[in-house]
Amino acid sequence: MRIEGKSKEECLNRAASELGVDRNKIDFTVVQEGTHGFMGFSAKNWIIEINTASSPEDPSVNSANAVSKDQVSQQSPSADLIQAAHGGTGKAVSEKQPDDTEVTTDTKTGRDKSLDGNFTIDVKKDGVFFAITPPKAGGREVDLFRVKLEIDKRHLVHVNYAIVEMALLEASGRAVKIADYDPEVYHDGRADLRLTNDKMQVFMTLVPPHCGSCVTYEKVTRQLELKGVVLGINHDLIRAAIEKDIFDREVLIAEGIPPIDGENGFIDYKFQVKQTKLKPHEMEDGSVDFRELDLITNVTKGELLAEKVSPTKGKEGIRVTGEAVPPKPGRDVIIKAGLNTKLSEDGMRLYSLIDGQVTLGNNGVRVNPILEIGGDVDFTVGNIDFIGSVFIHGKVIDGFTIKARDDIIIAGNVEAAVIRAGGSVKIKSGVVGKERAVIEADGDIYAKFCEMATLRAGGNIIIGKAILHSYCVAGGSVLLDGTKTTLVGGVIKAGHVVDAHIIGSPLATKTVIEVGVDPALTERLKEINENRKNYTENMETLDKAISMLLKQKSFDTLTPRKDDLLQKSIETRSQLNEEIKRLEFEEDEITNKIMESKGGEVKGRILIYPGVKVTIATAIRYIKEELKASALVFENGEVKVSMIHD
């Protein structure tokens, strides 16, 4: 019961008047403290809540024995929610909810409250009836204060309190009429239930009674039965809403189990489908290489490119009425087999038919044997390592590396970059190497010009205009096949022929040319000499260590660690000795092949300048005078000069 007034005293006086009790005996709680506001604006009234558990000690309030405050305080306010009869008119109202688990022991005193008296107020068509259940031995009687609170809460009118007091005194348990039934005044509470169209939810709105009976849990459950609701009922929430008088607000009291829709099928691509952001490669030391972007995905023949994951059917749901709700099945997908790919018979897996670059487009997954770069190789493209051929429409700027298992074609210049191909390299412009460019090919190398670069070809090196101050090695020939071509400076090695219009320069620029021997043999011979030198130095170090350990052993027993070191040193020395013998044998074979070489030719179709050193097989010749239209060949162990007549 709440009382509102301009002051706390006004609220207490009104409560005392309405309840007929001494204001000093009222137990209350301040809900809102009043304020005067500013110049009368925003003023607030006082609001107090009369505690239903309070029990006045004034004997005038209850002619029977009063119930103690400790006892009444154990009665929950929600317990005062009145239980309506079946259909709203047939069952007496009690302070105890039928489905509640009653607490029968006072937590403060330890007294058994189940012995206390109780009362019911039943609104029927023929009147309002009041009945007292007398207390058992040791229990407390019902006091008038509690009865008045209930009557006030129920908004009952025209109550004959004399009869109420008489019933309290008699405590016979017999129902007595304390007021007439007024159909214009008395309205029972009700529960409005709303079943959603999909039958997945039920909402309850409690409508408060007016001088009538409150709705009961049993009535709500019967209404649910009539609506066919059998699943997902929240019984605890229904009870709580009734007990706490949650009126005029929808409460969700039943909910079905929604279906779980099936998951769509999808394609699990085994390669990086799309990279929206460039990710430079992080090095082991924490630094970042902005040239390594990993934008190209290589695949090999027979490699799995994609795999389909089938859709799922989903799981049925259940409506609150018990009906099944079918789930929405997932959508299926189809793998599209593009160029150079093949689907498995069941359509679940896609494989590559060739080696190449895998890409995903509107026409499905395809594998390209040729990688095309539409512009320059720069920081937007990164380094390239491809399993097929590469075609670059632009140039390759400083610091980048291009590797391809097959051919590499570059439309623009190559700056200080590294180019390696398992096939041939074709540079439609030239190489501006800055002493850092390296061009390597197992096949041929083609370029318009080459300046301050290193070129290594398993086949021929073919240059259109000039080779300037470069290191060129060709298993076949080095051919400058344009008009008035020039070869100046650097070192040129070829297995067969070096052919240019002009070799050297008027300034006697040092130019070294070696032909007649496979450059791979001379390169390998150089490696052998370096390796043999390193192995020999390591053996000398081991010999000293072994000698020292053997000397120690002759005087005393070696520790296990030193003895193990001695044995390992002896084994390592033996292995190095065997490796040196193998290298010496290989060196002899290569030397014999070089000695047997007699072919090779150097052609200066217009002029060979002084300062050029020519080695053919094992013979060497230094050019000290200009040689016009001359060819140098190996003859009788020497480099001979002959005229070119073609």
Identify the pLDDT of residue 41.
55
Which element (helix H / strand E) includes 492?
A: strand 486-494
Q: Can you tell me which residue has the tokens 């070096």?
A: 498
Dihedral angle at the C-alpha atoms of 144, 147, 153, 158, nearest 10 degrees?
-80
How many other C-beta atoms lie within 10 A of the C-beta of residue 253? 23
The CA distance from 181 to 159, in Å, is 10
Report in angstroms the alpha-carbon separations of 222 from 86, 193, 241.
Answer: 10, 11, 16
Strand, coil or helix: 73:
helix
Report which residue type is found at 287: S
The CA distance from 330 to 311, in Å, is 5
Identify the pLDDT of residue 531.
94
Of the listed ranges 45-54, 257-266, 586-595, the least confidently predicted one is 45-54
pLDDT at 288 over 60: no
Name which of 494, 532, 524, 526 is nearest 512 in CA terms.
Answer: 494
Q: What's the pLDDT band for 287 if we cut at 50, 70, 90?
A: low
- Please return the burial class of 9, using the count of CB atoms within 10 Å of its CB with bins 0-12, 13-18 and 19+: exposed
Name which of 35, 108, 31, 25 is nearest 73 in CA terms.
Answer: 108
The CA distance from 315 to 310, in Å, is 16
Residues 554-583 have a mean pLDDT of 91
% of the chain at pLDDT higher than 70: 85
pLDDT at 103 over 80: no
Name which of 182, 181, 205, 207 is nearest 193 in CA terms.
Answer: 205
Which element (helix H / strand E) includes 242?
A: helix 235-243
Enter the tokens of residue 491.
């070192």
Q: What's the pLDDT band for 102 if we cut at 50, 70, 90?
A: very low
Identify the pLDDT of residue 107.
56
Sign of CA dihedral 411, 414, 418, 423: positive
Identify the pLDDT of residue 535.
94
Tell me the pLDDT tens digit for each residue of 590-627: 888 877 777 799 999 999 999 999 999 889 999 999 99
103-130 burial code (b ≥16 CB/10 A, e <16):
eeebeeeebebeebbbbbbbbbeebbbb
Mean pLDDT rounded to a whole number for the chain: 85
22 phi and psi angles, rounded to 5 deg: -70, 130
Report which residue type is found at 521: L
54 phi and psi angles, rounded to 5 deg: -75, 150
Residues 277-295 have a mean pLDDT of 61
How many other C-beta atoms lie within 10 A of the C-beta of residue 503? 31
Residues 509-524 have a mean pLDDT of 90
Q: What's the pLDDT band for 646 if we cut at 50, 70, 90?
A: low
Residues 354-363 have a mean pLDDT of 90
Q: Can you tell me which residue has the tokens 């047939």?
A: 90
**Alpha carbon 331 to chain centroid distance?**
24
Sign of CA dihedral 411, 412, 414, 417: negative
Residues 422-442 have a mean pLDDT of 96
Identify the pLDDT of residue 594.
79
Q: What's the pLDDT band for 110 if we cut at 50, 70, 90?
A: low
Residues 465-485 have a mean pLDDT of 95
104 Cβ contact partners less than 8 Å away, ≥ 6 residues apart:
112, 113, 114
DSSP bridge partners of 142? none
262 phi and psi angles, rounded to 5 deg: -70, 150
DSSP codes joined into one string, 254-310: EE-B--EEPPPPEEEESS----SS--PEEPTTS-EETT------EE-TT-EEEEEE-
Residues 489-498 have a mean pLDDT of 95
Report in angstroms the alpha-carbon separations of 449 from 72, 396, 410, 432.
Answer: 109, 15, 13, 8
Residues 377-385 have a mean pLDDT of 91
Identify the pLDDT of residue 91.
35
pLDDT at 320 over 80: yes
Tell me the pLDDT tens digit for each residue of 208-231: 887 777 899 999 999 999 999 999
3-state SS of 524-547? HHHHHHHHHHHHHHHHHHHHHHHH
Enter the tokens of residue 504.
């050297």
DSSP bridge partners of 471? 454, 491
Q: What's the pLDDT band for 8 if we cut at 50, 70, 90?
A: confident
Enter the tokens of residue 122.
């039943």
**So where are the chain's domains?**
75-256, 262-367, 522-596
259 Cβ contact partners less than 8 Å away, ≥ 6 residues apart:
314, 315, 316, 317, 325, 326, 327, 328
**Which DSSP category does 142 fall into?**
P
% of the chain at pLDDT higher than 90: 59
158 Cβ contact partners less than 8 Å away, ≥ 6 residues apart:
179, 180, 182
The CA distance from 193 to 132, in Å, is 34
> Is-contact 357 298, C-beta < 8 A?
yes
When computed from its CA atoms, the radius of gyration of the chain, rounded to whole angstroms, is: 53
Largest pairwise CA distance in the chain: 153
Residues 286-314 have a mean pLDDT of 83
The CA distance from 417 to 412, in Å, is 13
Which element (helix H / strand E) includes 585?
A: helix 560-596
Q: Can you tell me which residue has the tokens 């005193």?
A: 109
Identify the pLDDT of residue 276.
52
The CA distance from 509 to 429, in Å, is 25
Identify the pLDDT of residue 614.
96
